[in-house]
């Protein structure tokens, strides 16, 4: 789960250097940060709102900035609103971090001879292969998924990656498995059941019960974070489509008005 945001970025870079999920990627990255903070038990999500449990720095600059951005309000921020809120150019910052690590490289060109464009080339093929293998394991696997896989699947679906990586009729089954994994309750139910079973045992097993309970809580928070990201990305896509339709109708109205 530590590489969740970077994996989403790498999987979004097409062979021609274009970021295929550019319109939604920032929602996936915010969601990845929320998921990771939940998994690290820095935050929890209660009734749709982010509750800070621990403000101790994680050692990841972007993750620590995300944690700080959740604090200081009059009331805990809504998870969906936090994911949807623009915090600078988050996508650019992830791209720059990967570039500084030597994983990718920026290339600059001008479209139509004058519009500046940046393309991205993956230099570390092994790193990309690892990210793709993580998603492929979900897309082509038959077993259940853990919290990290559910997060990757849910966020990948939120930003539209499955249709790009598993296109057409041949990829239909893979897309369905990724979507299902993103919605999966997965080990949360199992962890909760384990907690009850172990708690019925001797006092010596109480630590195991505690760990199982924490596992269930962590997965529940993770799932809530993924859902917030999916909701935010979906809402953004609907808003963009509505705005485009509005502009098209407005343009058509102006064009029609010219005949009077």
Token pair for 21: 């999920």
Residue 218 CA to residue 196 CA, distance in Å, equals 16
Q: What pLDDT is recorded for position 198?
A: 40
101-109: long-range contacts (C-beta < 8 A, 24 or more apart)?
Answer: 103/6, 103/10, 103/127, 104/10, 104/13, 107/17
The answer for 223, left when phi > 0, alpha when psi is -120 to 50, beta otherwise, is alpha
Please give the pLDDT value at position 243.
Answer: 62
Q: Is this prediction's pTM over 0.85?
A: no
Pick from 23, 19, 10: which is nearest to 158 by CA?
23
Check pLDDT > 90 for residue 109. no
> What is the DSSP code string of 4-19?
HHHHHHHHHB-TTS-B
Query: What is the model's pLDDT at position 252?
Result: 55
User: DSSP character for 194?
Assistant: H
Q: Which pLDDT value is given to residue 185?
A: 46
Rounded-to-integer distance, Cα 161 and Cα 186, Å: 21
- pLDDT tens string 212-253: 555 666 667 767 777 777 777 767 666 655 665 665 666 555
pLDDT of residue 251: 57
The mean per-residue pLDDT over the stretch 61-75 comes to 93
Q: Return d(Cα 84, Cα 256) in angstroms, integer.
A: 37
CB contact set of 223 (below 8 Å; sequence gap of 6+)? 147, 150, 154, 185, 188
Choose between 120 and 182: higher pLDDT.
120
Over residues 155-179, mean pLDDT: 94
Q: Cβ distance 37 to 146 under 8 Å? A: no
Q: Tell me how far apart the alpha carbons of residues 224 and 79 are, in angstroms, rounded to a whole number.
A: 8
Arithmetic mean of pLDDT over the chain:
81
How much is the pLDDT for 199?
Answer: 40
Per-residue pLDDT, 241: 58
Determine what percent of the chain is predicted with pLDDT higher than 90.
41
Q: Using alpha carbons only, what angle is made at residue 10 by residues 6 and 14, rounded to the nearest 5 degrees? A: 160
**Domains located in the chain, CATH noted:** 4-244 (1.10.3630.10)
- Cβ distance 56 to 32 under 8 Å? no
Which residues share a beta bridge with 110? 116
User: What number is the average pLDDT over the span 43-71?
Assistant: 92
Distances, alpha carbon 191 to alpha carbons 27, 87, 200, 208, 214, in Å:
29, 34, 14, 11, 9
CA distance 62 to 9: 14
Chain segment 177-200, per-residue pLDDT in tens: 999 988 764 433 333 333 334 444
pLDDT (0 to 100) of residue 196 = 36
């Amino acid at each position: 789960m530590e590489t969740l945001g970077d994996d989403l970025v790498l999987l979004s870079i097409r062979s021609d250097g274009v970021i295929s999920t550019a319109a939604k990627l920032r929602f996936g990255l915010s969601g990845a940060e929320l998921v990771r903070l939940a998994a690290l038990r820095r935050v929890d999500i209660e009734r749709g709102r982010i509750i800070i449990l621990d403000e101790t720095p994680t050692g990841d600059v972007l993750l620590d900035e995300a944690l700080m951005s959740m604090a200081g309000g009059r009331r805990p921020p809504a998870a969906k609103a936090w994911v949807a809120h623009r915090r600078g150019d988050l996508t650019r910052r992830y791209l720059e971090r990967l570039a500084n690590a030597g994983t990718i490289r920026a290339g600059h060109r001008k479209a139509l001879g004058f519009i500046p464009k940046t393309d991205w080339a993956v230099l570390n093929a092994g790193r990309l292969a690892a990210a793709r293998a993580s998603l492929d394991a979900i897309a082509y696997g038959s077993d259940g998924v853990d919290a990290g896989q559910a997060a990757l699947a849910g966020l990948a679906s939120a930003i539209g990656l499955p249709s790009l990586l598993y296109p057409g009729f041949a990829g239909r089954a893979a897309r369905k498995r990724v979507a299902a994994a993103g919605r999966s309750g997965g080990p949360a139910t199992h962890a909760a059941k384990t907690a009850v079973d172990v708690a019925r045992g001797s006092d010596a097993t109480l630590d195991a019960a505690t760990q199982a309970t924490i596992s269930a809580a962590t997965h529940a928070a993770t799932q809530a974070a993924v859902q917030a990201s999916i909701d935010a990305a979906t809402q953004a896509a609907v808003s963009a489509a509505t705005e485009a339709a509005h502009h098209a109708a407005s343009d058509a109205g102006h064009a029609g008005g010219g005949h009077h």
